[in-house]
Amino acid sequence: MLRFPPATPIMPQSLEGLMKLPTLAVVALVVLSLGTLLAAPLQAQNAFTPDQVKWGPAPPFIPAGAQLAVLEGNPMASSGDYTIRVKMPDGYKIAPHTHPLRENVTVISGTLKVGMGDKWDDSKTMNFPAGSFAYLDPSMHHYAGASGETVIQIHGQSPVKFNYINPADDPSVKK
C-alpha cells in the first residue's frame, strides 16, 4: 500500500508566492505561443479582395499580352486543384485548342468570346458577359478572345495544358 506524507499546511507568507504563479504561467504561455507562432510556416492565402490579387506575365503557352494570377494551388503541378485568373486586353485571342482535363470558366469582368471548332470564325463566337460560367470537357475544340479588357477565372485539376489544333499557333514553340 502506498503512503503519502501528510499535506503541509499553507502558511500566510507563502500565499503571496502562490498568487504570483498564475501570472508567471500566463506570461510563459504567451512567450511560448508567440515563439511557436513565429516559427510556424506561413499558410497560403485563402481569401482575396480584388486589390490583393497578384498579377504576373502569362505563361508562354498562351499569346503575349495577357496577365495571370494564381489564386490557389499550382496549375503546373502533376495533380491537385488550382484556381487562376487571366486578364486579357481588348482584342486578345487564343487560337483553337483543347485541354486534357475539364476547364471551368467564370467571367469576372468584360466579355469573353468563345467559339467551337478547329478554325477561328468570328461568326461562330458567343459572347459571355461578366457573371457568365461555362465548363469545357476534355478534348473540346474551342477558341477564346476578349471584347474589352476581360478577366476570367479558371479552376480545375492540374496540370493546365493547351494542345493547339494547329501546332503553328502554339506561342511557346520558337518559329
Contact yes or no for 163/62 (Cβ under 8 A): no
Q: What does the pLDDT average to over 164-172?
A: 96
Contact yes or no for 154/105 (Cβ under 8 A): yes
pTM (two decimals): 0.74
What pLDDT does 139 receive? 87
Choices 1.10.3720.10, 3.30.2350.10, 3.30.360.10, 2.60.120.10: CATH for 54-169: 2.60.120.10
Question: Euclidean distance between the first and final Cα of the chain, in Å?
Answer: 91
Cα–Cα nearest to 86, from 101, 99, 75: 75
Place 37 in a pLDDT band, splitting at 50, 70 and 90: very low
Q: What does the pLDDT average to over 39-49?
A: 70
Domain boundaries defined on the chain: 54-169
Residue type, 52: Q
The model's pLDDT over 106-127, given as tens digits with 9 standing for 90+, comes to 999 999 999 999 999 999 999 9
What pLDDT does 122 receive? 96
The model's pLDDT over 11-24, given as tens digits with 9 standing for 90+, comes to 445 445 544 544 44
Omega cis (within 30) before 138: no
